[in-house]
Structure 1
Amino acid sequence: MPYAEIDSETKLYYEDKGEGQTVIFVHGVMMSSKFFHKQVPYFSEKYRTITLDLRGHGQSTKVEHGHTVSRYARDLKRFIEELNVKDVILVGWSMGAFVLWDYVNQFGSENIKALTIVDQSPSDYIWPGWEYGAFDFEAIKGVMQVIQEDQNGFNSEFIYGMFKQKPDPKEHEWILAEMNNLPASIESAIVFNQTAVDYRESVSNVDVPTLICFGTVGFFPIEAGEYIQQRIPGSKLVAFDNSSHLLFLEETDKFNRELDAFFSSL
Protein backbone atom coordinates (compact mmCIF):
# COMPACT_ATOMS: atom_id res chain seq x y z
CA MET A 1 0.00 0.00 0.00
CA PRO A 2 1.36 3.47 -0.84
CA TYR A 3 2.32 5.79 2.00
CA ALA A 4 3.86 9.27 1.99
CA GLU A 5 6.28 9.95 4.84
CA ILE A 6 5.43 13.29 6.47
CA ASP A 7 7.88 13.03 9.36
CA SER A 8 9.69 10.30 11.30
CA GLU A 9 6.46 9.27 13.04
CA THR A 10 3.78 10.03 10.47
CA LYS A 11 2.91 8.30 7.21
CA LEU A 12 -0.17 9.18 5.19
CA TYR A 13 -1.94 6.47 3.25
CA TYR A 14 -3.03 7.48 -0.24
CA GLU A 15 -4.33 6.12 -3.52
CA ASP A 16 -3.16 7.50 -6.86
CA LYS A 17 -5.00 6.60 -10.07
CA GLY A 18 -5.22 7.97 -13.59
CA GLU A 19 -3.13 10.47 -15.53
CA GLY A 20 -3.31 14.13 -16.45
CA GLN A 21 -4.28 17.14 -14.35
CA THR A 22 -3.78 16.26 -10.67
CA VAL A 23 -6.85 16.41 -8.42
CA ILE A 24 -6.49 15.74 -4.68
CA PHE A 25 -9.56 14.97 -2.56
CA VAL A 26 -9.33 15.85 1.16
CA HIS A 27 -11.86 14.25 3.49
CA GLY A 28 -13.64 15.55 6.58
CA VAL A 29 -13.11 15.04 10.30
CA MET A 30 -13.53 11.45 11.55
CA MET A 31 -13.76 10.25 7.93
CA SER A 32 -11.29 8.87 5.36
CA SER A 33 -10.39 8.73 1.69
CA LYS A 34 -12.84 5.84 1.27
CA PHE A 35 -15.72 8.34 1.23
CA PHE A 36 -14.71 9.32 -2.32
CA HIS A 37 -15.15 5.80 -3.68
CA LYS A 38 -17.81 7.06 -6.13
CA GLN A 39 -15.51 9.80 -7.41
CA VAL A 40 -12.26 7.92 -8.03
CA PRO A 41 -13.49 5.70 -10.92
CA TYR A 42 -15.11 8.68 -12.65
CA PHE A 43 -12.32 11.23 -12.33
CA SER A 44 -9.40 8.83 -12.85
CA GLU A 45 -10.55 8.35 -16.46
CA LYS A 46 -9.54 11.95 -17.24
CA TYR A 47 -7.41 13.16 -14.33
CA ARG A 48 -4.68 11.99 -12.01
CA THR A 49 -6.94 11.40 -9.01
CA ILE A 50 -5.39 11.23 -5.55
CA THR A 51 -7.15 10.54 -2.26
CA LEU A 52 -5.37 10.51 1.09
CA ASP A 53 -6.09 9.77 4.72
CA LEU A 54 -5.17 12.63 7.05
CA ARG A 55 -2.97 11.77 10.02
CA GLY A 56 -4.72 9.47 12.47
CA HIS A 57 -7.57 8.82 10.04
CA GLY A 58 -8.23 5.84 7.80
CA GLN A 59 -5.08 3.81 7.19
CA SER A 60 -2.63 6.58 8.09
CA THR A 61 -0.41 6.43 11.15
CA LYS A 62 -2.35 6.74 14.41
CA VAL A 63 0.11 9.30 15.75
CA GLU A 64 -1.30 10.95 18.88
CA HIS A 65 -0.05 14.48 18.27
CA GLY A 66 -0.54 17.12 15.58
CA HIS A 67 -4.31 16.95 15.38
CA THR A 68 -5.10 20.52 14.42
CA VAL A 69 -6.35 21.98 11.15
CA SER A 70 -3.15 23.98 10.74
CA ARG A 71 -1.01 20.85 11.20
CA TYR A 72 -3.15 18.98 8.67
CA ALA A 73 -2.56 21.83 6.21
CA ARG A 74 1.20 21.50 6.72
CA ASP A 75 0.86 17.75 6.23
CA LEU A 76 -0.92 18.41 2.94
CA LYS A 77 1.88 20.73 1.84
CA ARG A 78 4.45 18.08 2.69
CA PHE A 79 2.35 15.43 0.93
CA ILE A 80 2.21 17.50 -2.28
CA GLU A 81 5.98 18.02 -2.11
CA GLU A 82 6.60 14.33 -1.47
CA LEU A 83 4.62 13.37 -4.59
CA ASN A 84 6.17 16.28 -6.54
CA VAL A 85 2.90 17.32 -8.16
CA LYS A 86 2.37 20.77 -9.65
CA ASP A 87 -0.62 23.07 -10.18
CA VAL A 88 -2.97 20.80 -8.29
CA ILE A 89 -6.73 21.10 -7.97
CA LEU A 90 -7.74 20.58 -4.33
CA VAL A 91 -11.19 19.34 -3.31
CA GLY A 92 -11.96 19.76 0.39
CA TRP A 93 -15.07 18.30 1.97
CA SER A 94 -16.24 19.43 5.42
CA MET A 95 -13.15 19.89 7.61
CA GLY A 96 -11.15 19.26 4.43
CA ALA A 97 -12.28 22.73 3.32
CA PHE A 98 -10.77 24.16 6.51
CA VAL A 99 -7.52 22.41 5.61
CA LEU A 100 -7.56 24.09 2.18
CA TRP A 101 -8.25 27.54 3.60
CA ASP A 102 -5.51 27.09 6.18
CA TYR A 103 -3.15 25.90 3.46
CA VAL A 104 -3.76 29.11 1.48
CA ASN A 105 -3.31 31.20 4.63
CA GLN A 106 0.03 29.55 5.40
CA PHE A 107 1.50 28.96 1.95
CA GLY A 108 -0.47 30.97 -0.57
CA SER A 109 -1.75 29.49 -3.81
CA GLU A 110 1.40 29.39 -5.94
CA ASN A 111 1.13 25.63 -6.62
CA ILE A 112 -2.69 25.50 -6.53
CA LYS A 113 -4.67 25.69 -9.76
CA ALA A 114 -8.16 25.73 -8.22
CA LEU A 115 -10.20 24.81 -5.15
CA THR A 116 -13.50 23.07 -4.63
CA ILE A 117 -15.23 23.62 -1.28
CA VAL A 118 -17.78 20.95 -0.36
CA ASP A 119 -20.43 21.71 2.27
CA GLN A 120 -18.46 23.64 4.86
CA SER A 121 -19.26 26.89 6.62
CA PRO A 122 -16.28 29.23 7.26
CA SER A 123 -16.68 28.37 10.95
CA ASP A 124 -18.41 25.51 12.74
CA TYR A 125 -18.84 27.56 15.90
CA ILE A 126 -21.88 29.76 16.44
CA TRP A 127 -20.06 32.98 17.31
CA PRO A 128 -21.92 36.15 18.31
CA GLY A 129 -23.39 37.47 15.08
CA TRP A 130 -22.60 34.23 13.23
CA GLU A 131 -25.54 31.85 12.90
CA TYR A 132 -24.17 29.60 10.18
CA GLY A 133 -22.21 27.28 12.46
CA ALA A 134 -23.09 23.85 13.83
CA PHE A 135 -22.13 24.08 17.53
CA ASP A 136 -22.49 26.44 20.44
CA PHE A 137 -20.51 25.89 23.67
CA GLU A 138 -23.02 23.56 25.29
CA ALA A 139 -23.23 21.46 22.14
CA ILE A 140 -19.48 21.04 21.68
CA LYS A 141 -19.07 20.32 25.39
CA GLY A 142 -21.61 17.53 25.06
CA VAL A 143 -19.92 16.18 21.93
CA MET A 144 -16.55 16.02 23.69
CA GLN A 145 -18.05 14.05 26.54
CA VAL A 146 -19.98 11.54 24.44
CA ILE A 147 -17.01 10.84 22.15
CA GLN A 148 -15.01 9.85 25.22
CA GLU A 149 -17.81 7.84 26.83
CA ASP A 150 -19.61 6.32 23.84
CA GLN A 151 -17.69 6.89 20.62
CA ASN A 152 -19.53 4.18 18.70
CA GLY A 153 -22.93 5.53 19.71
CA PHE A 154 -21.99 9.10 18.79
CA ASN A 155 -20.53 8.10 15.45
CA SER A 156 -23.51 5.92 14.61
CA GLU A 157 -25.98 8.74 15.24
CA PHE A 158 -23.79 11.30 13.48
CA ILE A 159 -24.04 9.32 10.25
CA TYR A 160 -27.78 9.85 9.95
CA GLY A 161 -27.32 13.62 10.04
CA MET A 162 -25.01 13.46 7.03
CA PHE A 163 -27.76 12.05 4.79
CA LYS A 164 -31.01 13.60 3.64
CA GLN A 165 -32.46 10.14 3.11
CA LYS A 166 -31.81 7.42 5.69
CA PRO A 167 -28.85 5.31 4.50
CA ASP A 168 -29.31 1.60 3.99
CA PRO A 169 -27.80 -0.62 6.71
CA LYS A 170 -24.79 -1.70 4.64
CA GLU A 171 -23.84 1.89 3.87
CA HIS A 172 -24.23 2.85 7.53
CA GLU A 173 -22.07 -0.15 8.46
CA TRP A 174 -19.03 0.72 6.35
CA ILE A 175 -19.19 4.40 7.28
CA LEU A 176 -19.33 3.55 10.98
CA ALA A 177 -16.36 1.20 10.60
CA GLU A 178 -14.32 3.98 8.98
CA MET A 179 -15.24 6.45 11.71
CA ASN A 180 -14.52 3.99 14.51
CA ASN A 181 -11.07 3.43 13.04
CA LEU A 182 -10.12 6.83 14.47
CA PRO A 183 -9.11 6.53 18.15
CA ALA A 184 -11.44 8.43 20.49
CA SER A 185 -8.54 10.49 21.84
CA ILE A 186 -7.73 11.77 18.36
CA GLU A 187 -11.39 12.21 17.43
CA SER A 188 -12.17 14.46 20.38
CA ALA A 189 -8.98 16.51 19.86
CA ILE A 190 -9.56 17.29 16.20
CA VAL A 191 -13.33 17.74 16.52
CA PHE A 192 -12.72 20.42 19.13
CA ASN A 193 -9.99 22.16 17.14
CA GLN A 194 -11.95 22.21 13.90
CA THR A 195 -14.94 23.61 15.76
CA ALA A 196 -12.85 26.45 17.19
CA VAL A 197 -11.18 27.62 13.96
CA ASP A 198 -12.65 30.59 12.15
CA TYR A 199 -12.04 31.46 8.50
CA ARG A 200 -14.76 34.09 8.09
CA GLU A 201 -12.24 36.85 7.45
CA SER A 202 -9.45 34.89 5.79
CA VAL A 203 -11.58 32.99 3.25
CA SER A 204 -11.12 36.03 1.02
CA ASN A 205 -7.40 35.17 0.79
CA VAL A 206 -8.32 32.58 -1.83
CA ASP A 207 -7.22 33.96 -5.20
CA VAL A 208 -7.69 30.97 -7.50
CA PRO A 209 -10.84 29.73 -9.29
CA THR A 210 -13.19 28.19 -6.75
CA LEU A 211 -16.27 25.99 -6.96
CA ILE A 212 -18.52 25.83 -3.87
CA CYS A 213 -20.94 22.91 -3.47
CA PHE A 214 -23.54 22.88 -0.70
CA GLY A 215 -26.27 20.49 0.33
CA THR A 216 -29.43 22.40 1.22
CA VAL A 217 -30.69 20.08 3.95
CA GLY A 218 -28.39 19.33 6.84
CA PHE A 219 -25.47 20.82 8.70
CA PHE A 220 -25.17 24.24 7.10
CA PRO A 221 -27.66 26.56 5.40
CA ILE A 222 -27.02 27.61 1.83
CA GLU A 223 -26.43 31.13 3.19
CA ALA A 224 -23.05 29.90 4.47
CA GLY A 225 -22.14 29.01 0.90
CA GLU A 226 -23.36 32.40 -0.28
CA TYR A 227 -21.12 34.06 2.33
CA ILE A 228 -18.10 32.24 0.86
CA GLN A 229 -19.11 32.96 -2.72
CA GLN A 230 -19.40 36.68 -2.02
CA ARG A 231 -15.85 36.77 -0.61
CA ILE A 232 -14.02 34.80 -3.28
CA PRO A 233 -14.09 36.81 -6.51
CA GLY A 234 -15.33 34.82 -9.49
CA SER A 235 -16.32 31.77 -7.44
CA LYS A 236 -19.38 29.70 -8.28
CA LEU A 237 -21.92 28.25 -5.84
CA VAL A 238 -23.92 25.13 -6.70
CA ALA A 239 -26.78 23.94 -4.49
CA PHE A 240 -27.65 20.25 -4.08
CA ASP A 241 -31.30 20.18 -3.13
CA ASN A 242 -31.50 16.44 -2.54
CA SER A 243 -28.53 16.18 -0.21
CA SER A 244 -27.35 16.85 3.28
CA HIS A 245 -23.62 16.69 4.05
CA LEU A 246 -22.71 13.74 1.82
CA LEU A 247 -23.78 15.27 -1.48
CA PHE A 248 -21.14 13.34 -3.42
CA LEU A 249 -22.80 10.10 -2.28
CA GLU A 250 -26.42 11.25 -2.43
CA GLU A 251 -26.21 13.14 -5.74
CA THR A 252 -23.15 11.47 -7.20
CA ASP A 253 -23.87 12.07 -10.89
CA LYS A 254 -24.56 15.77 -10.42
CA PHE A 255 -21.55 16.21 -8.15
CA ASN A 256 -19.18 14.50 -10.57
CA ARG A 257 -20.55 16.43 -13.56
CA GLU A 258 -20.31 19.80 -11.80
CA LEU A 259 -16.71 19.20 -10.75
CA ASP A 260 -15.75 17.83 -14.15
CA ALA A 261 -17.24 20.87 -15.90
CA PHE A 262 -15.41 23.19 -13.50
CA PHE A 263 -12.07 21.39 -13.97
CA SER A 264 -12.50 21.42 -17.75
CA SER A 265 -13.14 25.17 -17.74
CA LEU A 266 -9.83 26.03 -16.08
Structure 2
Amino acid sequence: MLEEGNYFEVEPNVDLYYVDKGEGVPLVFVPGWTFTSDAFEYQIDYYSKNYRVIAIDPRSYGRSTITLHGNNYSTHINDLVKLLDYLKLKNVILVGWSFGGLVTWGYVEKLGLSNVKALVNIDVTPKQLSINKEDWVGGEIDEISNNYTYNMNSDRSLKNFMIPFTTEFMVERKLSEEEVDKIIKYSIRTPHYIARELYASGMFSNKIKAAKLVDDSIPSCMFISEPRASIGVPFMKKNFPNTHIFILGHHMMFWEYPHKFNRLLDGFLETV
Protein backbone atom coordinates (compact mmCIF):
# COMPACT_ATOMS: atom_id res chain seq x y z
CA MET A 1 0.00 0.00 0.00
CA LEU A 2 1.42 3.37 -0.98
CA GLU A 3 1.48 6.02 1.72
CA GLU A 4 0.59 9.67 1.28
CA GLY A 5 3.92 11.42 1.51
CA ASN A 6 5.55 14.79 1.89
CA TYR A 7 8.28 16.73 0.13
CA PHE A 8 11.23 18.58 1.62
CA GLU A 9 13.39 20.87 -0.50
CA VAL A 10 16.77 19.57 0.53
CA GLU A 11 18.45 22.14 -1.72
CA PRO A 12 17.16 24.47 -4.46
CA ASN A 13 15.18 22.47 -7.04
CA VAL A 14 15.83 19.15 -5.30
CA ASP A 15 12.87 17.72 -3.38
CA LEU A 16 13.13 14.71 -1.12
CA TYR A 17 10.01 12.55 -0.79
CA TYR A 18 9.30 11.04 2.61
CA VAL A 19 6.57 9.29 4.57
CA ASP A 20 5.86 10.61 8.07
CA LYS A 21 3.34 8.50 9.95
CA GLY A 22 2.52 7.86 13.60
CA GLU A 23 3.74 9.32 16.86
CA GLY A 24 6.43 8.49 19.39
CA VAL A 25 10.10 7.62 19.13
CA PRO A 26 11.31 8.34 15.57
CA LEU A 27 12.01 5.18 13.57
CA VAL A 28 13.77 6.19 10.34
CA PHE A 29 13.93 3.78 7.37
CA VAL A 30 16.49 4.27 4.57
CA PRO A 31 16.15 1.96 1.52
CA GLY A 32 18.90 0.39 -0.52
CA TRP A 33 20.37 1.21 -3.92
CA THR A 34 17.69 2.70 -6.25
CA PHE A 35 14.85 1.48 -4.01
CA THR A 36 12.24 3.57 -2.25
CA SER A 37 10.18 3.85 0.90
CA ASP A 38 7.64 1.47 -0.66
CA ALA A 39 9.99 -1.41 0.11
CA PHE A 40 9.09 -0.92 3.78
CA GLU A 41 5.31 -0.99 3.27
CA TYR A 42 4.80 -3.70 5.92
CA GLN A 43 7.03 -1.93 8.43
CA ILE A 44 5.43 1.51 7.90
CA ASP A 45 1.93 0.21 8.62
CA TYR A 46 3.03 -1.92 11.55
CA TYR A 47 5.42 0.39 13.38
CA SER A 48 3.46 3.61 12.93
CA LYS A 49 1.05 2.29 15.57
CA ASN A 50 3.69 2.82 18.25
CA TYR A 51 6.44 4.93 16.65
CA ARG A 52 6.79 7.97 14.47
CA VAL A 53 7.90 6.29 11.25
CA ILE A 54 9.91 8.21 8.69
CA ALA A 55 10.73 6.48 5.39
CA ILE A 56 12.47 8.23 2.52
CA ASP A 57 12.97 8.07 -1.21
CA PRO A 58 16.61 9.23 -1.41
CA ARG A 59 17.76 11.78 -3.97
CA SER A 60 17.20 10.56 -7.56
CA TYR A 61 15.10 7.61 -6.33
CA GLY A 62 11.38 7.04 -6.73
CA ARG A 63 9.32 10.18 -6.19
CA SER A 64 12.26 12.37 -5.17
CA THR A 65 13.81 14.73 -7.71
CA ILE A 66 16.08 13.13 -10.26
CA THR A 67 19.10 15.39 -10.36
CA LEU A 68 22.43 15.30 -12.18
CA HIS A 69 24.46 16.23 -9.12
CA GLY A 70 24.93 14.78 -5.65
CA ASN A 71 24.43 11.17 -6.71
CA ASN A 72 26.78 9.69 -4.15
CA TYR A 73 26.38 8.41 -0.61
CA SER A 74 28.12 11.39 0.96
CA THR A 75 25.34 13.60 -0.40
CA HIS A 76 22.65 11.09 0.58
CA ILE A 77 24.02 11.26 4.12
CA ASN A 78 23.88 15.05 4.07
CA ASP A 79 20.32 14.90 2.75
CA LEU A 80 19.26 12.69 5.66
CA VAL A 81 20.94 15.05 8.14
CA LYS A 82 19.04 17.99 6.66
CA LEU A 83 15.70 16.17 6.68
CA LEU A 84 15.94 14.98 10.29
CA ASP A 85 17.03 18.47 11.34
CA TYR A 86 14.10 19.99 9.45
CA LEU A 87 11.71 17.58 11.20
CA LYS A 88 13.41 18.34 14.55
CA LEU A 89 13.68 14.64 15.35
CA LYS A 90 15.51 13.66 18.54
CA ASN A 91 16.91 10.33 19.75
CA VAL A 92 16.17 8.56 16.50
CA ILE A 93 16.40 4.86 15.73
CA LEU A 94 17.96 4.47 12.30
CA VAL A 95 17.17 1.49 10.06
CA GLY A 96 19.21 1.08 6.87
CA TRP A 97 18.69 -1.62 4.28
CA SER A 98 21.56 -2.64 1.99
CA PHE A 99 23.38 0.51 0.80
CA GLY A 100 20.95 2.44 2.99
CA GLY A 101 23.13 1.17 5.83
CA LEU A 102 25.97 3.26 4.41
CA VAL A 103 23.72 6.27 5.00
CA THR A 104 22.82 5.32 8.58
CA TRP A 105 26.47 4.65 9.48
CA GLY A 106 27.34 7.82 7.60
CA TYR A 107 24.93 9.82 9.74
CA VAL A 108 26.85 8.60 12.80
CA GLU A 109 30.16 9.27 11.05
CA LYS A 110 29.10 12.86 10.40
CA LEU A 111 27.27 13.80 13.62
CA GLY A 112 28.27 11.22 16.21
CA LEU A 113 25.81 9.48 18.50
CA SER A 114 24.22 12.35 20.41
CA ASN A 115 20.98 12.10 18.41
CA VAL A 116 20.93 8.33 17.76
CA LYS A 117 19.21 6.03 20.21
CA ALA A 118 19.86 2.78 18.35
CA LEU A 119 20.87 1.54 14.91
CA VAL A 120 19.51 -1.34 12.85
CA ASN A 121 21.01 -2.36 9.53
CA ILE A 122 19.79 -5.01 7.13
CA ASP A 123 22.11 -7.28 5.13
CA VAL A 124 24.90 -4.79 4.55
CA THR A 125 28.57 -4.91 5.43
CA PRO A 126 30.32 -1.68 6.38
CA LYS A 127 33.30 -2.69 4.23
CA GLN A 128 32.24 -3.33 0.66
CA LEU A 129 35.64 -4.25 -0.80
CA SER A 130 38.60 -6.04 0.80
CA ILE A 131 41.58 -8.20 -0.06
CA ASN A 132 41.07 -10.12 3.18
CA LYS A 133 39.18 -13.33 2.38
CA GLU A 134 37.70 -13.41 5.89
CA ASP A 135 35.96 -10.08 5.43
CA TRP A 136 32.29 -9.84 4.57
CA VAL A 137 32.21 -7.76 1.38
CA GLY A 138 29.64 -6.49 -1.10
CA GLY A 139 30.58 -9.04 -3.75
CA GLU A 140 33.41 -10.53 -5.76
CA ILE A 141 35.43 -7.91 -7.61
CA ASP A 142 34.82 -9.56 -11.00
CA GLU A 143 31.08 -9.58 -10.37
CA ILE A 144 31.10 -5.93 -9.28
CA SER A 145 33.16 -4.92 -12.30
CA ASN A 146 30.86 -6.81 -14.65
CA ASN A 147 27.76 -5.18 -13.15
CA TYR A 148 29.26 -1.72 -13.48
CA THR A 149 30.60 -2.25 -17.00
CA TYR A 150 27.80 -4.18 -18.68
CA ASN A 151 24.62 -4.12 -16.59
CA MET A 152 24.26 -0.37 -16.07
CA ASN A 153 25.21 1.13 -19.43
CA SER A 154 21.62 1.73 -20.58
CA ASP A 155 18.17 1.86 -19.02
CA ARG A 156 17.33 -1.40 -20.78
CA SER A 157 20.41 -3.21 -19.44
CA LEU A 158 19.66 -1.91 -15.95
CA LYS A 159 16.09 -3.23 -16.09
CA ASN A 160 17.35 -6.56 -17.45
CA PHE A 161 19.76 -6.69 -14.50
CA MET A 162 17.14 -5.76 -11.91
CA ILE A 163 14.77 -8.60 -12.83
CA PRO A 164 17.12 -11.52 -11.93
CA PHE A 165 18.59 -9.41 -9.12
CA THR A 166 15.10 -9.32 -7.64
CA THR A 167 14.02 -12.89 -8.35
CA GLU A 168 17.31 -14.61 -7.42
CA PHE A 169 18.92 -12.37 -4.80
CA MET A 170 16.12 -10.44 -3.11
CA VAL A 171 13.68 -13.23 -2.23
CA GLU A 172 13.50 -16.98 -1.73
CA ARG A 173 10.15 -17.89 -3.20
CA LYS A 174 9.11 -17.69 -6.84
CA LEU A 175 7.59 -14.32 -7.64
CA SER A 176 4.77 -13.63 -10.06
CA GLU A 177 5.37 -11.19 -12.89
CA GLU A 178 3.10 -8.73 -11.08
CA GLU A 179 5.22 -8.96 -7.93
CA VAL A 180 8.46 -8.44 -9.85
CA ASP A 181 6.96 -5.41 -11.59
CA LYS A 182 5.82 -4.04 -8.23
CA ILE A 183 9.24 -4.42 -6.62
CA ILE A 184 11.25 -2.86 -9.44
CA LYS A 185 8.64 -0.26 -10.48
CA TYR A 186 10.25 2.58 -8.60
CA SER A 187 13.81 1.24 -8.71
CA ILE A 188 14.03 1.52 -12.49
CA ARG A 189 12.84 5.14 -12.41
CA THR A 190 16.44 6.01 -11.51
CA PRO A 191 18.31 6.51 -14.83
CA HIS A 192 21.09 4.01 -15.51
CA TYR A 193 23.86 6.62 -15.39
CA ILE A 194 22.77 7.68 -11.90
CA ALA A 195 22.32 4.10 -10.71
CA ARG A 196 25.82 3.36 -12.02
CA GLU A 197 27.31 6.34 -10.20
CA LEU A 198 25.69 5.35 -6.93
CA TYR A 199 26.68 1.71 -7.34
CA ALA A 200 30.33 2.75 -7.58
CA SER A 201 29.94 5.18 -4.67
CA GLY A 202 28.52 2.41 -2.52
CA MET A 203 31.11 -0.18 -3.46
CA PHE A 204 33.97 2.16 -2.62
CA SER A 205 32.50 3.06 0.78
CA ASN A 206 34.04 1.98 4.06
CA LYS A 207 32.09 2.62 7.27
CA ILE A 208 34.10 0.41 9.62
CA LYS A 209 34.94 3.24 12.03
CA ALA A 210 31.32 4.33 12.37
CA ALA A 211 30.17 0.73 12.76
CA LYS A 212 32.71 0.17 15.56
CA LEU A 213 31.56 3.35 17.31
CA VAL A 214 27.97 2.15 17.13
CA ASP A 215 28.89 -1.33 18.36
CA ASP A 216 30.80 0.10 21.32
CA SER A 217 28.28 2.72 22.34
CA ILE A 218 24.59 2.13 21.57
CA PRO A 219 22.18 -0.77 21.03
CA SER A 220 22.54 -2.12 17.51
CA CYS A 221 21.50 -5.11 15.46
CA MET A 222 22.18 -6.56 12.04
CA PHE A 223 19.86 -8.73 9.95
CA ILE A 224 21.84 -11.06 7.69
CA SER A 225 20.34 -13.08 4.85
CA GLU A 226 20.80 -16.83 4.96
CA PRO A 227 23.07 -17.01 1.86
CA ARG A 228 25.43 -14.46 3.44
CA ALA A 229 25.37 -15.85 6.97
CA SER A 230 28.39 -18.15 6.60
CA ILE A 231 30.71 -15.17 6.02
CA GLY A 232 28.63 -12.36 7.54
CA VAL A 233 28.06 -13.84 10.99
CA PRO A 234 31.75 -14.65 11.79
CA PHE A 235 32.76 -11.23 10.46
CA MET A 236 30.22 -9.43 12.64
CA LYS A 237 31.02 -11.46 15.76
CA LYS A 238 34.74 -10.83 15.34
CA ASN A 239 34.55 -7.10 14.60
CA PHE A 240 31.29 -6.01 16.24
CA PRO A 241 30.72 -8.34 19.19
CA ASN A 242 28.02 -6.23 20.85
CA THR A 243 25.74 -6.07 17.81
CA HIS A 244 22.74 -8.42 17.90
CA ILE A 245 22.56 -10.68 14.84
CA PHE A 246 19.42 -12.09 13.22
CA ILE A 247 19.48 -14.49 10.27
CA LEU A 248 16.45 -14.54 8.00
CA GLY A 249 15.53 -15.21 4.39
CA HIS A 250 17.18 -13.39 1.53
CA HIS A 251 18.17 -9.77 0.94
CA MET A 252 14.60 -8.40 1.09
CA MET A 253 13.53 -10.56 4.03
CA PHE A 254 11.58 -7.73 5.68
CA TRP A 255 9.26 -7.65 2.65
CA GLU A 256 9.01 -11.40 2.05
CA TYR A 257 8.68 -12.37 5.72
CA PRO A 258 7.29 -9.22 7.38
CA HIS A 259 5.78 -10.98 10.40
CA LYS A 260 9.01 -12.82 11.23
CA PHE A 261 11.10 -9.74 10.60
CA ASN A 262 8.88 -7.44 12.65
CA ARG A 263 8.79 -9.93 15.52
CA LEU A 264 12.60 -10.08 15.61
CA LEU A 265 12.90 -6.32 15.35
CA ASP A 266 10.31 -5.93 18.13
CA GLY A 267 12.46 -8.08 20.38
CA PHE A 268 15.46 -5.86 19.75
CA LEU A 269 13.51 -2.62 20.17
CA GLU A 270 12.28 -3.80 23.58
CA THR A 271 15.89 -3.71 24.75
CA VAL A 272 16.49 -0.12 23.55
Q: TM-score, normalised by structure 2?
A: 0.90
1:48 partnered with 2:56: no
Distance of 2:165 and 2:257 partners within structure 1: 19
AA partner of residue 264 (structure 1) = E
1:146 partnered with 2:151: yes
- 3-state SS of paired residue (1:147): coil
CA deviations on 1:118-173 (whole Å, 9 max, x unpaired) are 11122232534455223344322221232113111111121121112222222111
Give 2:179's aligned residue.
171
Aligned length: 262
Give 5+ residue unaligned stretches, structure 1.
none
Q: 2:10 aligns with which of 6, 16, 21?
A: 6
- Percent of aligned pairs sharing the same letter: 28
1:156 partnered with 2:166: no
Distance of 1:91 and 1:211 partners within structure 2: 10
Give 1:197's aligned residue.
205
AA partner of residue 220 (structure 2) = T
* Change beyond 3 A, Cα 1:201–1:265: closer
- 3-state SS of paired residue (1:224): helix
Q: 2:264 aligns with which of 249, 258, 263?
A: 258
- 3-state SS of paired residue (2:55): strand
Give 2:252's aligned residue.
246
Give 5+ residue unaligned stretches, structure 2.
none
1:1-266 equivalence runs, <5 A: 1-144=5-148, 145-149=150-154, 150-160=157-167, 161-206=169-214, 207-217=217-227, 220-232=228-240, 234-240=242-248, 243-266=249-272
Distance of 1:229 and 1:238 partners within structure 2: 12
* Change beyond 3 A, Cα 1:223–1:138: closer
* Change beyond 3 A, Cα 1:140–1:199: same
- 3-state SS of paired residue (2:42): coil
What's the Cα RMSD here?
1.7
Q: CA deviation at 1:229?
A: 4.5
* Change beyond 3 A, Cα 1:126–1:153: farther
AA partner of residue 164 (structure 2) = E
Q: TM-score, normalised by structure 1?
A: 0.92
CA deviations on 1:177-223 (whole Å, 9 max, x unpaired) are 11111111110000111011123354202121101111112xx3343
